[in-house]
Amino acid sequence: MKKQLIAIFVGGLILFIWQFLSWAAIPIHKSTYGYTPNQDKILEVLSQNLTEDGVYHLPYPAPGTSQEQAEAEMMARVGKPWASINYHKSMDMDMGMNMFRGFSINLLAAFLLIWLLMKIPNLNMMTALQSSIGVGIIAYLTIPYLNSIWFETNSLEHLIDAVVQWGLLGVWLGWWLPRK
């Protein structure tokens, strides 16, 4: 049990450190967000027109619109601009809870991977590495890549994250777990 707890903690730490490097230090995700010199004007218009925090997809049919009417409205918009907006009324720079939650889910992710790996008889480095990268690629394909298809964005940064962070975790677990 002590061995698995150490594996979980170090595994969560590996994921957490890679995510910091990927988003802040290197940063791999630099192209994920763009700058516009009109940001203040855009934020002013958004704050005048959006009253709730949330994700908005524009254009989007009004609530209560029939299926036929919604389809007609969307077809009329083909070839015209569209946007996805994550809107918040107030910027909060307190990252303490976000970091705690991020580390917590990294611990849970490491725990789940370790639970799966421990089901493999005669676990070795190569099996742990391949299995870990496989889990990372599954995660990549089902969320970031799928979103990139529908929202027409780049997801290469997320693929790099999937392979590197889960690969590093696989190397750690492939070394640590089979030890007596």
Q: Over the stretch 75-106, which tens digit does the pLDDT of each residue have?
A: 999 999 999 999 999 998 889 999 999 999 99
Whole-angstrom distance, CA of residue 17 vs CA of residue 22? 9
Q: Of all helices (H) and strands (E), which one includes residue 171?
A: helix 156-176
**pLDDT bracket for residue 167 (50, 70, 90):** very high
Q: What integer best gives the mean pLDDT of the chain?
A: 95
Q: Kindly list the distances between the CA atom of residue 27 and the CA atoms of 19, 32, 143, 160, 165, in Å, as whole numbers in the listed order.
A: 10, 10, 21, 12, 14
Average pLDDT over residues 113-120: 97
67: left (phi over 0), alpha (psi -120 to 50) or beta: alpha
Distance CA 169, CA 7 (A): 10
What mean pLDDT do residues 116-130 have? 97
CA dihedral (126, 23, 143, 119) positive or negative: positive
